Amino acid sequence: MPVDSQQWIDRFLHHLQTERRLSANTCNHYQRDLAELLAFYRKAGINGWAQLDTHAVRQFAALAHRRGLSGRSIQRRLSAVRSFYNYLLRERQVTSNPAHDVRAPKSERRLPDTLNVDDIARLMGGAAGDGLALRDLAMLELMYSSGLRLSELVSLNLEDIDLAEHMVRVTGKGNKVRVVPVGTKALAALRAWLQVRPAQLAEGESAVFTGRRGQRLGRRAVQQRIKRWARQQGIPGDVHPHTLRHSFASHLLESSGDLRAVQELLGHADISTTQIYTHLDFQHLARVYDAAHPRARKSDKQ
């Protein structure tokens, strides 16, 4: 019995999970993007993955652009298509990769949201108390102290934290492991949380951060708790986990000027990803220049 188009997607997703060992979140992104490709494929009357050519892939990208998707989102979709076809090539189902030379339209690069140092202090100061408040403070301090992604935070296990050496072992994108330092305040918050954590532990649970039922805390729960503390402290804007990571990078770069070190700490494979924080730093310098330099602005009196 021949394998149909959906079954090849299912096989590819299984390959991502078992052979490449990608995170569940990454696999979900691939699944959504390939579901869109399959819907396009069927509507276009294409019969078999070998019939999808470069022109069709460009049409697929153009359709997403007309629907308002950003260049970054389209690029992610195209990356999923390229990876899928590389798998089909390996399985000898196709003879070429039609997405190989297709590029997404460029979109304006949005600068990440950050908090200033005073807002960070207000946020950390608000998450005070006992029990779950200690947990929340430990999460906030650790994300800001070490620049962790949300997925990295929720996947932390007890053996990943070395309190004596002030280090945490993090598994990032592509299952790449890095070891990053933990600041004094984050260490104190972690110790306080770990002292009360065993009382709320489900049997066999190794997660550092657990919920009321003693099970590993989920991504959505972390997002909600951070928003709650930010609202409670009157911090404007949409504060989310990545805001703390962005703030970590911006503040560290502003103080040190060491772009390579920030790249390593963030776990960026490409330094061009880290360079966006130099734009944030330049904006700060430009504001200082405009406010302080006697010839920074033209006089209103001409």
Burial zone of 44 (CB within 10 Å; 0-12 exposed, 13-18 middle, 19+ buried): middle
Q: Which amino acid is at 284?
A: H
- Is 279 catalytic? The answer is no
Full-model pTM: 0.59
Catalytic residue among 77, 245, 246, 251: 245
Residue 35 has pLDDT above 60, yes or no: yes
Residue found by looking up tokens 């990078």 in the block: 249
Q: Is residue 90 annotated as a catalytic residue, yes or no?
A: no
Catalytic: which of 149, 178, 219, 227?
Answer: 149
**291 CB contacts (<8 Å, ≥6 apart)?**
none
Catalytic residue among 11, 166, 227, 242: 242
pLDDT bracket for residue 69 (50, 70, 90): confident
Residue 302 is predicted with a pLDDT of 43
Number of other residues whose CB lies within 10 A of the CB of residue 192? 16
Percent of the chain with pLDDT over 70: 84
Mean pLDDT of the chain, nearest integer: 84
| Residue 242 annotated as catalytic | yes
* pLDDT, average across residues 12-37: 91
Q: Is 289 a catalytic residue?
A: no
What is the structure's pLDDT at 1? 33
The question of whether 173 is a catalytic residue gets the answer yes
Task: Please identify which of the residues 11, 169, 173, 240 carries the catalytic annotation.
Answer: 173
Dihedral (CA of 240, 241, 242, 243) sign: positive
Please confirm, yes or no, whether 227 is among the known catalytic residues.
Answer: no
